[in-house]
Amino acid sequence: MSSTYSQMELNEMAAEFAEMDAEFAEFGLEEMDSELSEAFAELDAELDAAGISELGFDTASIGELADNEFDQQFIGKYLYNKARKLIATIVRLVRRYGKCSKCVPKVLKAVRYFKAKKYASAIRAAYDAYRCIKACTK
């Protein structure tokens, strides 16, 4: 760990990351293979270059996960609330740890997905940003 952090800051950071680990554990994202993540990043770049938007869950595809309208609303609201909370946390973290500026594009990607109402994709992008922030603070 960097000597620029006080022990109190290090303890606080460890607690924040432990909380984030627990949040993301619900989705099983920690099992993502880094090679797969890189492959998706390359695919995203190729799709962007071709003028095709990135792939991900959108509001309409949530309906495929639900049996009825109530379930669809519940799933959508759950993903919305979870994405909002996780994004707020990564935004706070990246602002707090200025040396993590290389992670800002990953945070922005999560925010863009959220604004596009692609909440599952926003959660996955938030996880990617979280991993970047966690790595740069070590």
How far is 100 from 7, CA to CA, in rounded Å? 19
What pLDDT does residue 119 have?
Answer: 87
Question: Contact 88/64 with Cβ under 8 angstroms?
Answer: no
pLDDT, tens only, 99-116: 888 999 999 999 999 999
- Quote the CA–CA distance of 81 and 96 in Å, as a whole number: 23
On the question of pLDDT at 50 being above 60, the answer is: yes
The ranges assigned to domains in the chain are: 7-136
Has residue 1 got a pLDDT over 50? no
Q: 3-state SS of the chain: helix, strand, coil percent to 5?
A: 80, 0, 20
Question: Mean pLDDT, to the nearest integer, of 62-88?
Answer: 75
